Amino acid sequence: MAGQVWTLQPGRTIAETSDAFLARDMAATTRRSYTQTMQRLADEHGDLLVGALDGAALDAFTTVAWGACAPATWNRHIATLRSFTAFARRNGWLAEDPAGVLERRREPADRTKAISRASLQRLFRRDDVALRERCLWRLLYETAARAQEVLSADIEDLELDNKRLRVRRKGGDSDWLHFQSGSARLLPRLIADRGAGPIFLANRRPAPARAPASLDRCPVTGRGRLSYERSAYLFKQHSLKVSTTAWTLHQLRHSALTHLAEDGVNLPLLMAKSGHESLRSLQKYARPGAEAVGAMTASHDPARRRR
């Protein structure tokens, strides 16, 4: 349980130390990610004393567990293990840091993740897209927010007059997302006469055995909160109607930041809008896309200026 006080003594196992590590106060999304890594470690070495964990054992474990994964996946697990061993050292349960031997992998830059403005407009204008999806996509693009931040928001967090939405950021901090007229026109239609509960709802009421927590259920309709998995699937399916490749919800955030950068918005403002905590993590989004580079190249073509 988050906030629980742990009093570990020498001789505790990796599994017990992992439980203490995961019980700290952290964002729900972070806990889910950490749990994936720690569960795998506990399954393999849970009975080992945490003080006996060394670099060779940890290196062999990570190679078998995630050696064949993509660099981004590998780096996510490595970051979790480093955080875990740092936690154990701070509490005096590890003398040395065995994660020091683990090296991050270079993540190849993908310059094609931003969706063109024209492609997005074609998708937004389709008549076969439900109101809920059109509203969600517009809101994600106009706010440049993470999908989970928007899906977790409630009607009580919404200020339509000010065109802003209060959310819990990835690290757990509260922040305002600012949206534009497109979302402001769609949101009242989506919410209708509901005064509380999740903004985005699933299509059907859940079976009693699978009823969500009260915070994730609409008090008016009884329907649960729309899941990330369902919204991601629908976006992928609709994107294939206007593109030869499937798009992800994250590309709406990526595209928004890329387009704002192309329009000359400076990095500090982009950082404030996106909720990034470092310029380094933001810069992979805030670079002009292929269309902008192509347009710039054409505009500076000497042959064009002679015509």
Q: Considering the chain, what is the average pLDDT of its residues?
A: 87
Residues 103-120 have a mean pLDDT of 81
DSSP state of 283: H
Higher pLDDT, 29 or 12: 12
Whether the CB-CB separation of 226 and 202 falls below 8 Å is answered with: yes
Residues 70-95 have a mean pLDDT of 92
Residues 19-24 have a mean pLDDT of 94
pLDDT in tens, 236-263: 999 999 999 899 999 999 999 999 988 8
pLDDT in tens, 277-301: 777 778 777 776 666 666 667 766 6
**What is the pLDDT at residue 290?**
64
Q: Assess whether 76 and 28 both reside in one domain.
A: yes
DSSP state of 3: T
pLDDT above 60 (res 164): yes
Last residue of a domain, one of 43, 73, 101: 101
Q: Assess whether 135 and 87 both reside in one domain.
A: no
CATH number at 27 reads: 1.10.150.130
**What is the pLDDT at residue 1?**
41
Whether the CB-CB separation of 141 and 256 falls below 8 Å is answered with: yes
**What is the pLDDT at residue 4?**
43
Q: Measured between alpha carbons, how far is 204 from 202 in angstroms, rounded to an integer?
A: 6
CB neighbour list of residue 98: distance below 8 Å, 6 or more residues apart: 53, 54, 55, 57, 58, 85
- 48's tokens: 């080992």
Tally Cβ neighbours within 10 Å of residue 110: 9
pLDDT above 60 (res 114): yes
Sign (positive/negative) of CA torsion 255, 124, 245, 36? positive
Higher pLDDT, 224 or 107: 224
- 83's tokens: 């955080």
Taking Cα atoms as reference points, which of 43, 54, 44, 102 lies closest to residue 74? 102
Q: Assess whether 89 and 159 both reside in one domain.
A: no
Q: 3-state DSSP call for residue 145?
A: coil
Backbone φ and ψ for 167, nearest 5 degrees, come out as: -135, 170
> Using 50, 70 and 90 to split pLDDT, how confident is the model at 304?
low
- 296's tokens: 């710039």
Last residue of a domain, one of 49, 70, 101: 101
Residues 90-102 have a mean pLDDT of 91
- 128's tokens: 């076969």
Strand order in the sheet with 158-159: 158-159, 164-168, 174-178
Print the domain residue range for 152.
117-295
Q: Measured between alpha carbons, how far is 237 from 224 in angstroms, rounded to an integer?
A: 22
Strand partners, 167: 175
Q: Assess whether 161 and 74 both reside in one domain.
A: no
pLDDT in tens, 177-216: 999 999 999 999 999 999 999 999 999 887 776 667 778 8
Residue 307 belongs to a domain = no
**What is the pLDDT at residue 33?**
87
> Using 50, 70 and 90 to split pLDDT, how confident is the model at 152?
very high
Q: Measured between alpha carbons, how far is 261 from 60 in angstroms, rounded to an integer?
A: 42
**What is the pLDDT at residue 97?**
92
Q: Assess whether 176 and 290 both reside in one domain.
A: yes
Backbone φ and ψ for 168, nearest 5 degrees, come out as: -100, 115
Whether the CB-CB separation of 274 and 282 falls below 8 Å is answered with: yes
Q: Assess whether 74 and 155 both reside in one domain.
A: no
Q: Assess whether 87 and 136 both reside in one domain.
A: no
Strand partners, 176: 166
Residue 266 belongs to a domain = yes
Whether the CB-CB separation of 179 and 143 falls below 8 Å is answered with: yes
pLDDT in tens, 115-144: 999 999 999 999 999 999 999 999 999 999
**What is the pLDDT at residue 32?**
85
Residue reference for tokens 């054409």: 298
Residues 1-6 have a mean pLDDT of 42
Q: Assess whether 35 and 136 both reside in one domain.
A: no
Residue 251, CB-side half-sphere exposure with 13 Å CA sphere: 19
> Using 50, 70 and 90 to split pLDDT, how confident is the model at 22?
very high
**What is the pLDDT at residue 2?**
44
